[in-house]
Structure 1
């Protein structure tokens, strides 16, 4: 199911990123993504594609999506700068990137799966930023205590259990953590923008400072120059 969702999301990005005069995607990548309609977006921060007019973005998305879907480290590294930034402590480079992809029980591949379903934005330098969310001004004072609801039908309940009464539905919007965040806990206590308190399932929340990709122009294409989390 996740592979199908990833294929659908990448097709939507690729389809929106190529003009009529752009070259057709390479056959090896195009065959990987069946034609599917783009889902409707609901919510302030529902994923969008702001990379529509960038030249050759379609080729990049198709190749990136295929590399991630196939868990093909060699293909992914071909799309990556030799000086890629991987953290804020000096970690970087292709060798380190490969090592991290092979470690942690494939966790970085799972992060890439999710990123590629969350749209594409552009930074002030004209680079592509994935997910789209990271390129947006969320209008919050503390991004470290901010989470974004991941979906059009995310519910907040009155207690940390699936049996709790629904207080509010919060589609693709910001909430503030009330008691910190434990990724292993099933629910997190949050406060909405209107001041209501409740509990949202942890797997329906994403930090705006979570993993993101920056891709910069390189020749006639694009190259990943950073893949980091945090700040």
Structure 2
């Protein structure tokens, strides 16, 4: 009887482990917003000035905050001159105002070297989540539509979730198809989802002054 009881307990334990593993596999992972800028008054003031320059599209003020050796890519086209060629900040229609503005608006955190890394989606991305196939939902109760249309029924709502992106050729570019935690699929408005390998900026102190030392995307 004792042997039979042991076998039953072992079977129950195995079932519980299997259920736990399945639950964990389908569990919803989240990435909550983080912004540590206010913990360093000097950087907080610098960022506020930079955001003001972006709001008025002031190329001179922006370039004053760019390090002369800024990293623009993973190739050789680095430095402030290459930055100007890539982004053309003197043109008020340049995408730099929108792209950098979004990066700064999403907060960030300081790394071990004391540099500020933005946005939080990049600086706090979990190492065990695939950065090329997954993305972060930017907000609480973000609707997931059954189809790529604002009039489509809401299939689910997500709050700061990490989700798998699905390549959907021919779909409306303003929507991103995702896989929900339990395997179903849906569409999210692109404004409310961000890949960790999208544009990010790094700010470090150079000769006592804060400078943007990197502004790039990819990996």
Q: Offset at 1:144?
A: 0.9
Are the aligned partners of 1:120 and 1:130 in contact in 2 as well (CA < 8 Å)?
Answer: yes
Counterpart-to-counterpart distance in 2, 1:180 and 1:141: 21
The one of 48, 52, 60 aligned to 2:46 = 60
1:192 equivalent in structure 2: 180
Q: Offset at 1:169?
A: 1.0
Q: Offset at 1:101?
A: 2.6
2:106 equivalent in structure 1: 118
Residue by residue, what CA displacement relative to the aligned partner does 1:143-187 show, whole Å, maximum 9, x if unpaired? 111121222231112222222221211122211112257795232
1:83 equivalent in structure 2: 69
Q: 1:136 to 1:145 in 2, by over 3 A?
A: same
Are the aligned partners of 1:56 and 1:220 in contact in 2 as well (CA < 8 Å)?
Answer: no
Q: Offset at 1:194?
A: 3.7
> In the alignment, is residue 69 of structure 1 matched against residue 55 of structure 2?
yes
TM-score in terms of structure 2 length: 0.76
Are the aligned partners of 2:121 and 2:194 in contact in 1 as well (CA < 8 Å)?
Answer: no
Residue by residue, what CA displacement relative to the aligned partner does 1:58-114 show, whole Å, maximum 9, x if unpaired? 221122112211111211111111000001111111122122232794112110121
1:47 equivalent in structure 2: 33
> In the alignment, is residue 100 of structure 1 matched against residue 93 of structure 2?
no
Unaligned runs of 5+ residues in structure 1 are 1-42
> In the alignment, is residue 207 of structure 1 matched against residue 195 of structure 2?
yes
What is the root-mean-square deviation of aligned Cα atoms in Å? 2.4
SS in 2 for 1:90: coil
* Residue range with higher mean Cα deviation, 141-150 or 178-187: 178-187
Which structure would you say has the larger Rg? 2
Counterpart-to-counterpart distance in 2, 1:193 and 1:139: 19
SS in 1 for 2:76: coil
Counterpart-to-counterpart distance in 2, 1:181 and 1:120: 32
SS in 2 for 1:97: helix
Q: 1:199 to 1:180 in 2, by over 3 A?
A: same
Unaligned runs of 5+ residues in structure 2 are 1-28
Are the aligned partners of 1:121 and 1:133 in contact in 2 as well (CA < 8 Å)?
Answer: no
The one of 144, 162, 175 aligned to 1:174 = 162
> In the alignment, is residue 162 of structure 1 matched against residue 150 of structure 2?
yes
TM-score in terms of structure 1 length: 0.73
Report the number of matched residues.
Answer: 189
Q: Offset at 1:139?
A: 5.2
2:139 equivalent in structure 1: 151
